[in-house]
Structure 1
Amino acid sequence: MIRPPLPPFTEETAPLKVRAAEDAWNSQNAEQVAQAYTPDCFWRNRTDFIQGRKDIIAFLTRKWQQEQDYRLVKELWGFQANRIAVRFSYEWHNAAGQWFRSYGNELWEFDESGLMRRRVASINDLPISEADRKLLWTGARRPDDFPSLSDLGL
């Protein structure tokens, strides 16, 4: 399976890869998201260690059951050859209605076909009020003209 854009990444292709990942995660379709990773992909997500697409699907299914009304924005931080660094923020609420803004950084490594083979994520959660939300749009995909994390002061 080929998943463009392919490494080595450039100033034009790295942001495209980041946006494709953001769009996929905002779909909250765990099986679709898992297809962007190698079959044996390794993740560290907070304190979870995940290996392979089956575990990715199970993890994301649990995640989006707990993190309701999920809205994510990713921003390219840097890239080199087959690696990309991003920062991100997402907002969600739990079953009790408490809203959170989660902040994080990810390090990605891709194989030659453009599939991610390694993902390392560090994430912190900040309780917020619903009135303090900033990631507000309709539909799964963030509109192209929606402000970036930097523009939002996040």
Structure 2
Amino acid sequence: MSRRSRLRPGRTRTPELTAESPCPCGLPEPYGKCCGRFHSGESAAPTAETLMRSRYSAFVVRDAAYLLRTWHPRTRPERLELDPGIHWTGLEIEDTEDGTAFHTTGTVTFRARFRRHGKRGALHERSSFERHEGSWVYVDGVFLNPADDAG
């Protein structure tokens, strides 16, 4: 059986990551107690920033199903194909506005670093989040300083 055939639907390739691995989002908890519990559906992200971190980790593990599930229905694409040539290497949260249990909207500004076909790059974005049916969801994002992110 090939590695690809053992993957959950919506995943293209899973980096070696276990529940005990460091979480890709950069917080000190292991993956299983951090973003892994959101990916599995065990818990819902309590803040917009936590959702943003879990979505970054979903890109790392190529969990397209989670990304679609946490995308607002009004802006969500029908399907999502993740680029297997991108290897996500780090996340930096630059700013958060609102997005707590006391808010219905929030924004998170971040820089996500990656390597694609041996070249370094970064995605610098201000993402918008809303509560939808009681849970935080990603709405959309605005790219910041695209010229700075080329490598």
Q: TM-score, normalised by structure 1?
A: 0.52
Q: Distance in 1 between matches of 2:51 and 2:126?
A: 16
State the AA in 2 paired with 1:77: T
Q: Distance in 2 between matches of 1:117 and 1:25?
A: 14
Aligned to 2:108: 86
Aligned to 2:58: 24
Contact 1:89–1:104 (CA<8 Å) still a contact in 2? yes
- TM-aligned CA deviation for residue 36 of structure 1: 1.6
Residue of structure 2 aligned with 1:73, choices 91, 98, 115? 91
- The equivalences for 1:100-139 within 5 A come to 100-116=121-137, 118-123=139-144, 124=146, 126-128=149-151
Contact 1:108–1:116 (CA<8 Å) still a contact in 2? yes
Q: TM-score, normalised by structure 2?
A: 0.53
Q: Distance in 1 between matches of 2:63 and 2:115?
A: 18
Q: Distance in 1 between matches of 2:88 and 2:104?
A: 28
Q: Distance in 2 between matches of 1:69 and 1:29?
A: 14
Unaligned runs of 5+ in 2: 1-40
SS of aligned partner of 1:107: strand
Residue of structure 2 aligned with 1:4, choices 34, 44, 49? 44
* Aligned positions, number: 105
Ranked by relative contact order (alpha carbons within 8 Å, sequence separation 6 or more), the top structure is 1
Q: Distance in 2 between matches of 1:92 and 1:16?
A: 20
Q: CA RMSD in A?
A: 3.0
SS of aligned partner of 2:149: strand
| Larger proportion of strand | 1
Q: Distance in 1 between matches of 2:138 and 2:125?
A: 19
Cα pair distance change 1:15/1:107, threshold 3 Å: closer
- TM-aligned CA deviation for residue 86 of structure 1: 0.7
